[in-house]
C-alpha cells in the first residue's frame, strides 16, 4: 500500500518563475491538503481539495493555485515566485470528514 508521494523532491527556481508540484494521495484517500513549511516553523495550511474542488483556503495569495484530478492526485502551482516562497511544501491526504492526515515527504523549493 503506497503512502503519499510527492514530486519532485527538490527544485530550484528563479524569482518570477512559475512552479508546479505534484502529489499522489495514499490509496483510498479522496482529500488532499497542501502546506508550506518554512525552516523552523510549523506547516501553514495553503488549501484543501475534495471532489476536484477547493474546499478550504488559508491566508495565501492568488499566486498559489491548485488542482485535483479525477484520480484524486493534486497539483500545487505557484506563479511569480518570490524569495520568500522558499520552503518545504507538504502534501497530506485523508478521507473527507476523517481528520487523520498522512503527509508525503515534501518538495523542497528554493527560489534564488
Q: Which residues of this protein are in contact with another protein, per CB under 8 A?
A: 33, 35, 41-45, 48, 55-58, 90, 92, 96-97, 99-106
Question: Could you say which DSSP state residue 86 is in?
Answer: -
Q: Which residue lies nearer to another protein by CB, 10 or 15?
A: 10
Q: Which residue lies nearer to another protein by CB, 1 or 100?
A: 100
Burial grade of 45 (CB within 10 A; 0-12, 13-18, 19 or more)? middle
Q: Can you give the length of the chain in residues?
A: 112
Q: Which residue lies nearer to another protein by CB, 12 or 98?
A: 98
Amino acid at each position: 500500500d503506497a503512502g503519499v508521494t510527492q514530486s519532485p523532491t527538490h527544485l530550484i527556481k528563479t524569482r518570477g518563475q512559475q512552479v508546479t508540484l505534484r502529489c499522489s494521495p495514499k490509496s483510498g484517500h479522496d482529500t488532499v491538503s497542501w502546506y508550506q513549511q518554512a525552516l523552523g516553523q510549523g506547516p501553514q495550511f495553503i488549501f484543501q481539495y475534495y471532489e476536484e474542488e477547493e474546499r478550504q483556503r488559508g491566508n495565501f495569495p492568488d499566486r498559489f493555485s491548485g488542482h485535483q484530478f479525477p484520480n484524486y492526485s493534486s497539483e500545487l502551482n505557484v506563479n511569480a515566485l518570490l524569495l520568500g516562497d522558499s520552503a518545504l511544501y507538504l502534501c497530506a491526504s485523508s478521507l473527507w470528514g476523517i481528520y487523520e492526515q498522512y503527509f508525503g515527504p515534501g518538495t523542497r523549493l528554493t527560489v534564488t
